[in-house]
Amino acid sequence: MKRWPGSSSDLADAVHAGKLAMALVRLPVPDDTLEVTEVMSERLGAVVPADQFAGRESVRLRDLADLSYLGTSADLSQKYFEQLDRDLAAAGIRKRLRLEQSDYGSVAELVSGGIAFSISMLDPASPMQMYNLDNVAVLPFEDFDRVLTTGLAWRRDRADPGGDLAELVDSARSLLAEELPE
């Protein structure tokens, strides 16, 4: 097993090219030569300036209209985040900020300063929560239900009977078919 850094599209490309046998990627994966089994889904919430949302337990999209949406950098942008951006625009979130590099510390700084909001995992145990500053809160949406789904991807032809990954893929499917704790 090896660790391979990169965006989900980079990882999917590496699996497609045979550089990686399998990879964990954010869904959807727009490559029909790959097969994907869902591994987990994470609910998303709004990363907001805590002082502006003090006492709130949730947020509506219209509450965010005066802030800029701080999306992912161009190098990390993938189908899911592109659709998320379009959905936010359709819901009236017009202002945008983009960082050249996606660095969660910088996102937290801009949110903490009160000029932007972002979107991240709601789970307090998520590694993304480590980047929060004192004036940053992650609140669930009242009117924008989104999850970020991660899947295990492999090349379909390598998992066919007689393929070099057939046994490993069968084992992975068995394990992933079991009910995962929430």
Verify that 84 and 74 share a domain, yes or no.
yes
Verify that 53 and 98 share a domain, yes or no.
yes
Return the CA Rg of the chain.
18
Verify that 126 and 36 share a domain, yes or no.
no
Q: Is 1 within a domain?
A: no
Verify that 51 and 140 share a domain, yes or no.
yes
What total of structural domains would you count in the chain?
2
Model pLDDT, residue 179: 62
Give the angle subtended at the CA of 147 by the CAs of 145 and 149, to the nearest 5°: 160
* Tokens found for residue 120: 């991240």
Verify that 56 and 133 share a domain, yes or no.
yes
Q: What is the Cα–Cα distance from 174 to 117, expressed in whole angstroms?
A: 39
**Domain interval for residue 157:** 8-40+148-177
CATH number at residue 115: 3.40.190.10
Per-residue pLDDT of the chain (182 residues; tens, 9 = 90+): 667 777 888 899 999 999 999 999 888 888 889 999 898 888 999 999 999 999 999 999 999 999 999 876 544 446 778 888 889 999 999 999 887 766 677 888 889 999 999 998 888 887 666 666 789 999 999 999 988 888 999 999 999 888 899 898 888 888 877 765 55
Verify that 112 and 159 share a domain, yes or no.
no
Model pLDDT, residue 77: 44
With a threshold of 0.85, does the pTM exceed it?
A: no
Model pLDDT, residue 75: 46
Verify that 72 and 153 share a domain, yes or no.
no
Q: Is 55 within a domain?
A: yes
Verify that 109 and 164 share a domain, yes or no.
no
